[in-house]
Each structure stands twice: as C-alpha cells, then as structure tokens.
A and B are shown apart, each in its own frame.
Chain A
Amino acid sequence: NAGVTQTPKFRVLKTGQSMTLLCAQDMNHEYMYWYRQDPGMGLRLIHYSVGEGTTAKGEVPDGYNVSRLKKQNFLLGLESAAPSQTSVYFCASTGQANEKLFFGSGTQLSVL
C-alpha cells in the first residue's frame, strides 16, 4: 500500500494562474481532507469530504475548490492563485469517524 500520495510535491505559480493538487489514497477510506500549513503555524482545514461525490467547507475555504468524483481521489483547485496561498498543503484520509488520520507528505506551493 502506498497510503496517501500527493502530487506534485513542489510547484511555483504566478499570481492569477490556476492549478490542481491531487490526493490519492489506496486504503478505501471514506473521509478525505485538505489542510494548509503556513510557516510556524498549525494546520488549517480547507475542505473535506465524507464520501464519494460529497464535499464541505473547512476553516479557510475561500479561494479553493474541491472535487471527489472517485472515492480514492480528492482534488484541490486554485482558480486564480494569490501570494497569500503560498503554503504547504497536506492531504489526509481516514476510514471511519474516530479513527486516526493518515497524511500525505505535502505539496510546497509558492505563488509569486
């Protein structure tokens, strides 16, 4: 099992560009999450999904969109990147409520 895989690992964007971050899990998990982490800060929840075809807003959803068309994939989109979105993005998944989260290794995104 690969666990939770995030692609890409690094990306540099110019202001106004768009991109999609992919999170894939091979553990048949129902719940998936996108977090961002700014330097010296804890993780903040952007969006999450409780199952295929569902998404919901977290703490800091503005400027991001998500889709969960397949159970194993959770996509995070930036339609018009801004420098404030420079951050490390982490994806996580879990099978049941109360279970531990499995995290990916992160995507370092810089918006110039």
Chain B
Amino acid sequence: DAKTTQPTSMDCAEGRAANLPCNHSTISGNEYVYWYRQIHSQGPQYIIHGLKNNETNEMASLIITEDRKSSTLILPHATLRDTAVYYCIVRVATGATNKLIFGTGTLLAVQP
C-alpha cells in the first residue's frame, strides 16, 4: 500500500493561503490522492481528490506533481474555521474495495 508523509503541524494567518504538502513517493499509476479534514473530534469531511491533473472545487485546490510523488492542498483564503487536522490519503483499490487508510495528518492552526 502506498503511504503518505505529511508535516505534523502548520500555522497559517487568517485570510492567507494555506499550502499543505503531502509526499506519496510510492503511489501506483491507478491510485488517487484524497484529502479529508477533521475538525475537533467530528467525523472526517471530504475535501477533494485527484489522479493526475490539478483539481479545484469550492473548498480547495489540489496540485499534483507531474511524477505524482507529491501533492499540495491549497486553501486559498484560510479562516479560523479551517483549523483542523488534514489527512492526505492514497486510495488503495483492491478488487471491488475502496479502502481508505488514514495516517496521522497535519494539524493546521489558522491564526487571527
């Protein structure tokens, strides 16, 4: 299973862009990169996912390097409510399963 490496914690000023890196150097060609976040003991919330191309939605942008060995989640204008643990996950597809294996994530603290 491909594993991910993320910094333990990061700070970001309110209103600025938050850039969260993730390393997944052993990713396979058919594995997707997913991002979820967890706000203080709530259930994780889906943010975005991608395979090869950069993706953008109403919450964030996902930039995947050309060799797919790393990616960056971008929150364009961080707010205090974005303070959470952010998980970068490589989806493991085994047969018909859709297992998501979580790591320890990055604690993003948005400062006023």
A42-B87, A103-B43, A105-B42 known; A97-B104 Cβ under 8 A = no
Q: CA of A103 to CA of B41 in the docked complex: distance in angstroms?
A: 12
Give complex CA distance A92, B93 in Å. Answer: 17
Q: Number of contacting residues on A, CB 8 A? A: 30
> How many residues does chain B have at the interface if contact means C-beta atoms less than 8 Å apart?
23
Check A103–B97 contact: CB distance below 8 A: no
| Cβ contact within 8 Å between A56 and B44 | no
| CB–CB A98/B32 < 8 A | yes
Q: Which of B32, B43, B101 contacts A90 (CB 8 A)?
A: B43
Contact of A48 among B87, B97, B102 (CB under 8 A): B97
Q: Which residues of B contact A (CB under 8 A)?
A: 32, 34, 36, 41-46, 49, 87, 91, 93, 96-105
Taking A50-B98, A101-B46 as given, write out 4 further A-B residue pairs in contact, using a Cβ cutoff of 8 Å, ordered by the A residue number.
Answer: A42-B102, A56-B97, A98-B91, A100-B46
